[in-house]
Structure 1
Amino acid sequence: MKMNVAKALLLVSTVAGLTGTAQAQTADGEGARVSNDIIVTARRIEERLQDVPIAITAYTQEDLAKRNVNNASDLATYTPSLQADNRFGTNNTTFAVRGFRQDLRTSAAVGIYFADVVAQRGGNGGSSVGDGAGPGSFFDLQNVQVLKGPQGTLFGRNTTGGAILLVPQKPKDRFEGYVEGTYGNYNQTRLQGVVNVPLSDIARLRIGADWNKRDGYIKNVSGVGPDRLANVDTFALRASLVVDLTPDLENYTIVSYSKSHDTGPIAKVAACSTTNQTLLALCNQQLARQAGEGFWTAQNVDPDPRSILEQWQIINTMTYQANDSLRIKNISSYGQITSFIQASLQGGFYRIPSGTLPNAAGTAQISTAGLEGRTFSYSALSSSPSGAGNQWNFTNELQLQGSAGDALTWQAGAYYETSRPMKANVGGGAQNLISCTATTVCQDVLRTFTGRRTGNSSFSTTYTSFENVGVYAQGTYKLAPGLNATAGIRYTWDKTSGGGTLRNYFFTAAGAPASITGVALAPGAVPYVCAISGASQAVDDAVLANGCTVSGSVKNKAPTWLLSLDYKPIDQVMVYAKYSRGYRQGAYSANAPIGYETWQPERIDAYEAGLKASFDGPVRGTFNIAGFYNKLSNMQLITAFASSTGAVGSTVVAVNVGKSRVKGLEVDASITPIPFLTFDASYALLDTKILAVGAVPSPYGKYDIIRSLATVGSRFPVTPRHKFIGGATLRLPVPEGMGQLSVSASYTYTSDYDYTTGVFGTLPSTELVNANLTWNSVAGAPVDLSVFATNLLNEKYVITANDNRTAAGHVSNSLGEPRMYGMRLRYRFGS
């Protein structure tokens, strides 16, 4: 069911809703507080949100609860200029801010920070792991801050798009806590609890746990594997301890653990198109099997699909207040992240029927006798026994923060990070149009009909190591009353190294290994070719002679900087302008074609001007607006290399595409015209364009299909031109002493955007409506009750596009969540 914008706005204004802008409203007896009450750390010091000359969207923990934000994907629903990419599931979500995104095997363009520590890396292999906010990250937080634009001076590596800061609740000096339970449709059951205990006059402890389980919303109609897919099963535990070693020396330690174990990502085949008539017939049969089964369906080929993500981390922050004008802080962290994935990622489920199938050209029908019932897929993922990602990560940052009189505040620091694999042989494989019972026990069932080698079983074991070093300094000087100038510079050194063994196994229709020349194998012959290829046969022969093992490294270094002016003509109004240079490191990937294993850093020059205003009195509110223009050079975008004859397996790699530009506008506004009613709105306009593209060879050795997301004049992927979020909160009258009751709804409109190339690569626009009824302090008791619904109108929408028409004959899409609803009950205790 589609609804237009006018109807949606009418619904929101009637029901009274809640939006995901920076205004962060709170229902209480006196009305809503405005956003300048929120304390943020966007410049590594505590400041009011409205006093920071940066475009920021901020949320308190209460805001997250009212919006039912349980994971990184939910956060993007309410944030202008922020998009989520869930290709590998919600636990491996990557972000795009203002068009800057993390592609497969590239470093993050949006840095995720928890307690001032960047998210753990998971390697850059065949699936996205790490570099994000994992399961259990969004509970018991002080706030979440979405910083837009390059943040390369005060923050660490690779923040050309922006940074997302998750600030956990710090232990307090009083006994308090809560126990919360949630029950919803799809049998959602969630239990959460936090306790804060002052151990002594100098020590404070806070412990929290979050367990969330929900049945899958996608019906599996293949008859293979579980009946339901896209389920949730996560657990997170966090303990924080603050010890005042002396009146001037504080030690703050956080230990966190989380694990998710679900059925993994899967897409739904949506269309068939290919010149291969055998694949076309099989694809059309799949569409016929799922016809009439409803929108939220898919066909799974794996009897035991699963995605497991487990990570733990220790963060220690030591803060020394040397004197009134100097603070020294050291932030150290160590953690480990492991993952395992086994899933029918692209959603293809082909079954050899009884009778006949056409040959590839469609000129003859061939009997399927002996092969009836054999099932297979395309890009059916499987991890190695050691996992798809298996890294340990260490970071350390030394900060100096100080002032010189009333005119100058400054900070400087040094940063070090290293990330390395914990085990050898980390990686995985994919079964492509081949029926297997193990990696090397397979049947090329299509060879009978196509007359040539068609399927393969790819398997790779890879490793990647990272090392990053940076030094920085930034200062703000008061030029005149209300007028400040800020300048900062950072210099970064990066190194990426790695290697791996990448092989494609080929088989005959009968299941015996087939040689790379099509001649029957002699005993002891190699039953594989290398999964990567070079520009010539000599290069391929050399790699094959090395067992298909490659290695390499790349080093980058670059300065980044910031220059800005901000001016307050009156106390409640600030205007600002800034120029910043951003940098995203190049990297090395063993999965790339020979000659394309490395890519160069991406650089951005960003110009931004904005206004932040707030007003009090009978009518209260805020109005923030920012305009920006970004110029990019060496933009990193994914390019696909494939072979139409199956001579080598397909792969993707980042390629520097030349020059691009982004310009846009962001608006956040909130108004409380009467004490019990608040309206909010936010809007983002993003105009992206690729201006020049570097040369990508076609063909390149055995790769005769080269498909790049970068074409001159095209827009950036995963970047809608328009995004609007609107709503209001209505606080309902209740008798004194009965608590606070409010009803809310929100509306999010996202215009269409390109996910990949081709006619099926553009995702249509979406309109989502969410609603909440919240009763805090029920009947005066320390109990809070909330009834919630997300995607209230049960919008049918897709969140990814996988165009595999050439390789597999189908197009598939990942499906957005249907209507979710439930009830949440919290009991608070302590002071």
Structure 2
Amino acid sequence: MSFDRTRFLSSCAAIMTCLATPALAQSEAPQESQANQDFGSTSDIIVTARRVSESLQNVPVAITAFSQDMLNERAVSSAFDLSKSVPGLVTSADSGNGALPSFAIRGRGQFFGAATGSVETYFADVPLSPPFQMPTLPPQYFDLASVQVLKGPQGTLFGRNTTGGAVLFVPQTPSDKFEGYVRGQLGTYDNAQLEAALNLPLGDIGALRLAGFAWHRKGYVETVAGRVDSAASFTNGATFNFLTGQFSGPGTVLLPRTDIYNQDVLEFRGTLRLNLSDSIENTTILTWHGDRNRASSQLHQLRTGTQLAGAIGAYFPTLLPDNPRIADVDTDLTRPRSSTWAAINTTTWEATDNLRLKNIVSYISAEGYGNNPADVDGSPFPAINLVRPGRPLKNRQFYEELQLQGNVGPVEYIVGGNIDNTRQPGANDKINVPTLTFDTGGFDHQYRQSRYSSKSLFSSFTFKANDQLSFTAAARHTWDDISDRSVLVNNAPRFLAVAPLDASGENCVASLLPTGATCQVLNGSRKFKGWSYNGGVDYKVTDDVLLYGGYRHGYKRGGFNGRGGTLADFGPENVDDFYAGMKAAFLIGGRRSTFNIEGFWDNYKGAQRSYLDLSGGALVTTIQNAGKTRYRGFDTDMVLNLTDWFRLSGNYTFVDAKYLKFQDVSVAAANAIAPFILTPSQLAAYRALNLQVDNNYMAGNIPGQNSRHKLNIQGRFHHTLNDGAEIAFIPSMTYQSKFYLNDSSFVLPAIGAVLFNGGVPLNSVAQGANIAPGYTTFDMRLEFNNIADRFDLSLNATNVTNKLYRVGGTGIWQFGVDSVAYGPPRMYFVEARYRF
């Protein structure tokens, strides 16, 4: 696919029109250039890990934080870029789809269809991750004050309970200066970025800041052009009509050639700060995001002796040439642009010298296609296809939080509460269609309306015994209420644009179903409640050395598996986290350097884990609770300003993860949620396994999404010229050890062994599947900063050695295929920035 210059230039024009300003106008005080900043020094970064603004080095919590200039130095424009520089942060391709990045911190992250992820993402203090993997506002990587990665349970002071960590994106707040910038980037794979921001002071009234970002990049994987679908009956190419279920041409259908793992992103943001009085400040953010990114799993290998592998092999005796940059898929991966807008209003009132009120209210309206369309098996055979529905998925989120902050003598406190509601449409012609698959029997699709309500009260108290010693205690109690209505239609020869229900929405109407199709309505409602709490102590040995430690208890709500005959529960997840750390700043030849380290030991009870089966005849994710899981390890980061011309920074994380007790409830769950019809031989095979009495059978697995080792090292060689300009060379290296794609890579749940492997246990890793091997990548950047006090120019190369590495996969070896997602190849780009 060629570079669509017209579309990209239109996006650029839109941004520049929004941010139009006299380019040669002089601001009152030019923004500080990169050349004059203390690069790599994190001691002055302001973070909000405890919901108040404070210096990073003074917070007794493990945090990695970057300013926008530090993000630019590391060429961070996406979640995969960010993970290179953050100890313990792994970004993987959710369900093998590179267009759906998922964060994991210290091995805890999104486990496919779990109720909520273990890591929550926030923008301007508003949680972004929706329940049930519906579309929402993606993180934005432009015009930020900081990005902060918080490690460990964060459920006490943040709006959603998370047992693994949180990633905070803090946008720039309008200032009282007239200033701005324009940044452009051009590179290989038709890479083009344009970013701009304009800050307009409004006198005593306040200030307005406008910003925009556009990114076009051709995908680094191309699909096979004109490949005939192996079944000679179905590929959902551009000529397929979803409403009629018909192709425009007779016989077989050829897919158009396209590229995937592309970037087609457009974002705008406007922020208005109003000074309502001397003590009241109100800030409103309006932001919009749209993208047309395409991605899918790619077939890596076949498992001999399986029905799917045999079928693929019969039509294609040899796989594609050993070229991971070519994919042979049988699903049309193109889709309309997603559209998400959000309004976030924050009001702060300095009521007295010792009392501050802060209120956050937001609304997010999102429309998109999530994981549809995708080719789950990554093969040219119509085995496990997720077809683009006839209408986008819709999601609406309302969030309200009130905080009271202040101090009474030596005690600092934060108390408050929040309301968190997510709603989806329910009308027959608007209800979401999150699952639309195809096989030789026709369409299998699910209409779904999920609702989520959460209310919580929280408090945190810090007692400052003296200038050196402090004690902190915090707690949150949460009440969760979730409901789900699923309408399952199987064996329909075409996609039904309207859910086949009566006026009540609770009963299937046979006359609305095609001949041979079946329909089932499932309703479920669950309530959960739980506590998150923590206690800690920190001691400042000197002004530059902080010792700290403590205990945190994290809670994550449970849910239900909404597919099959009934709705089966999975319970809440709880974690007990013990941690201790040190933050130190010191001088090397008069130059400030830092070294931080934290050790942790986490014990989970009821960790929510997923496995795949064929409930109701379709590929679905089933959630169960693992009995006991242990994570232990440490992470460390340092910034060493060794000379006036060289800075060395680095970070390392070690995580040892293990299941101590992991029962196999797959057959019990399958009986509860799926209308399985086991043949006598299958039933005998299951009974032969005799696993139903072994409550620790699955403990032979290793927790998925966890890299045992993660290392990043970056150097910065720099020299300031006589005119104030600076030249800098920045090489960096990232190493990430292997991780497993899911939580049954060594031992398959019993139901999977019965259905797909003749009742014999399956070790996927032993056969080279369900694994992302370790890898090392190198990046380089050459900067020319502060040219004429206003220009910065850089030359960049990423993945210099062109390393082939995987960032995720589907983990469905039991079905006969290993499908994976690959990271970007070597890329070059030039970047320029003008400040005014």
* 1:386 maps to 2:399: no
Whichever residue aligns with residue 295 of structure 2, its letter is: P
Q: CA–CA distance in 1 between the matches of 2:489 and 2:586?
A: 64
1:563 paired residue number: 535
TM-score (norm 1): 0.82
Q: CA–CA distance in 2 between the matches of 1:31 and 1:256?
A: 31
1:362 paired residue number: none
Q: Is the 8 A contact 1:384 1:426 kept in 2?
A: no
* 1:621 maps to 2:593: yes
1:584 paired residue number: 556
- The one of 219, 238, 248 equivalent to 1:216 is 219
Whichever residue aligns with residue 93 of structure 1, its letter is: P
1:205 paired residue number: 208
2:471 paired residue number: 485
- The one of 767, 777, 792 equivalent to 2:786 is 777
Structure 1, gaps ≥5 residues long: 1-24, 351-375, 435-443, 445-454, 509-521, 531-546
- The one of 436, 451, 460 equivalent to 2:446 is 460
Change (3 A) 1:132 1:816: farther
* 1:265 maps to 2:274: no
Q: CA–CA distance in 2 between the matches of 1:828 and 1:813?
A: 42
Q: CA deviation at 1:692?
A: 0.9
Point out the more displaced range, 782-791 or 464-473: 782-791
1:169 paired residue number: 172
1:280 paired residue number: 310
Q: CA–CA distance in 1 between the matches of 2:724 and 2:160?
A: 50
What is the correspondence of 1:291-330 to structure 2 with a 5 Å cutoff?
291=321, 294-303=323-332, 305-306=334-335, 308-330=337-359
Q: CA–CA distance in 2 between the matches of 1:709 and 1:526?
A: 45
Q: Is the 8 A contact 1:32 1:672 kept in 2?
A: no
* 1:403 maps to 2:411: no
What per-residue deviation string (whole Å, max 9, x for no partner) do you get for residues 412-446 of structure 1? 001111010145420144434x3xxxxxxxxx3xx
What is the correspondence of 1:106-505 to structure 2 with a 5 Å cutoff?
106=114, 107-119=116-128, 121=130, 123-124=131-132, 128-130=133-135, 133-134=138-139, 137-223=140-226, 224-262=255-293, 264-276=294-306, 279-280=309-310, 282-283=312-313, 286=316, 288=318, 290-291=320-321, 294-303=323-332, 305-306=334-335, 308-340=337-369, 342-346=372-376, 348-350=378-380, 376-387=381-392, 389-405=393-409, 407-422=410-425, 424-432=430-438, 434=439, 444=440, 457-505=443-491
Q: CA deviation at 1:653?
A: 1.6
Whichever residue aligns with residue 268 of structure 1, its letter is: Q
**Corresponding residue SS for 2:71:** helix
Change (3 A) 1:720 1:743: same
What is the correspondence of 1:671-750 to structure 2 with a 5 Å cutoff?
671-698=640-667, 700-701=670-671, 702=676, 711-734=698-721, 736-750=722-736
Q: CA–CA distance in 2 between the matches of 1:95 and 1:524?
A: 42
How many residues align structurally? 714
Q: CA deviation at 1:281?
A: 5.1
Change (3 A) 1:687 1:529: farther
Change (3 A) 1:231 1:402: same
Point out the more displaced range, 621-630 or 752-761: 752-761
Q: CA–CA distance in 2 between the matches of 1:777 and 1:28?
A: 6
What is the correspondence of 1:788-803 to structure 2 with a 5 Å cutoff?
788-803=796-811
Give RMSD over aligned pairs: 2.6
What per-residue deviation string (whole Å, max 9, x for no partner) do you get for residues 444-469 of structure 1? 3xxxxxxxxxx553111101110010
Q: Is the 8 A contact 1:83 1:96 kept in 2?
A: yes
Q: Is the 8 A contact 2:99 2:295 kept in 1?
A: no
Change (3 A) 1:303 1:398: closer
- The one of 37, 40, 57 equivalent to 2:44 is 37
Q: Is the 8 A contact 1:691 1:712 kept in 2?
A: yes
* 1:659 maps to 2:628: yes
**Corresponding residue SS for 1:104:** coil
Change (3 A) 1:287 1:65: farther
Q: CA deviation at 1:529?
A: 6.3
Q: Is the 8 A contact 1:225 1:305 kept in 2?
A: no
What per-residue deviation string (whole Å, max 9, x for no partner) do you get for residues 214-234 of structure 1? 111102124222332221101
Q: Is the 8 A contact 1:561 1:580 kept in 2?
A: yes
Q: CA–CA distance in 1 between the matches of 2:45 and 2:513?
A: 67
Q: CA–CA distance in 1 between the matches of 2:643 and 2:38?
A: 8
1:58 paired residue number: 65
1:372 paired residue number: none
2:248 paired residue number: none
Q: CA deviation at 1:74?
A: 1.7
What per-residue deviation string (whole Å, max 9, x for no partner) do you get for residues 567-610 of structure 1? 0111110100110110111123423x445532111001100000
Q: Is the 8 A contact 2:376 2:384 kept in 1?
A: yes
Point out the more displaced range, 304-313 or 185-194: 304-313
**Corresponding residue SS for 2:72:** helix
Q: CA deviation at 1:68?
A: 1.3
- The one of 79, 83, 91 equivalent to 1:84 is 91
Whichever residue aligns with residue 770 of structure 2, its letter is: G
Change (3 A) 1:116 1:802: closer
Whichever residue aligns with residue 602 of structure 1, its letter is: E
Q: CA deviation at 1:282?
A: 2.1
Whichever residue aligns with residue 636 of structure 2, its letter is: V
Q: CA–CA distance in 2 between the matches of 1:710 and 1:498?
A: 31
Q: CA–CA distance in 1 between the matches of 2:70 and 2:200?
A: 25
Q: Is the 8 A contact 1:183 1:824 kept in 2?
A: yes
1:541 paired residue number: none
Q: Is the 8 A contact 1:270 1:287 kept in 2?
A: no
Whichever residue aligns with residue 376 of structure 2, its letter is: Q
- The one of 809, 820, 833 equivalent to 1:813 is 820
Point out the more displaced range, 564-573 or 267-276: 267-276
Change (3 A) 1:221 1:473: same
Q: CA–CA distance in 1 between the matches of 2:542 and 2:512?
A: 82
Q: CA deviation at 1:525?
A: 8.6
Q: Is the 8 A contact 1:226 1:303 kept in 2?
A: no
Q: CA deviation at 1:155?
A: 0.6
Q: CA–CA distance in 2 between the matches of 1:464 and 1:251?
A: 33
Whichever residue aligns with residue 761 of structure 1, its letter is: N
What per-residue deviation string (whole Å, max 9, x for no partner) do you get for residues 445-494 of structure 1? xxxxxxxxxx5531111011100101111111112330100011111001
Change (3 A) 1:710 1:283: farther
Q: CA deviation at 1:304?
A: 5.5
- The one of 741, 759, 767 equivalent to 2:776 is 767
Q: CA–CA distance in 2 between the matches of 1:233 and 1:33?
A: 31
Q: CA deviation at 1:616?
A: 2.7
Q: CA deviation at 1:528?
A: 5.0
Q: CA–CA distance in 1 between the matches of 2:363 and 2:258?
A: 39
Q: CA–CA distance in 1 between the matches of 2:332 and 2:514?
A: 30
Q: Is the 8 A contact 1:427 1:461 kept in 2?
A: yes
What per-residue deviation string (whole Å, max 9, x for no partner) do you get for residues 600-643 of structure 1? 11001100000100013524311111000011111100022237
**Corresponding residue SS for 1:477:** strand
Q: CA–CA distance in 2 between the matches of 1:37 and 1:54?
A: 16
TM-score (norm 2): 0.81
Structure 2, gaps ≥5 residues long: 1-31, 227-254, 495-509, 746-763
1:514 paired residue number: none
Q: Is the 8 A contact 2:556 2:574 kept in 1?
A: yes
Q: CA–CA distance in 1 between the matches of 2:87 and 2:512?
A: 59
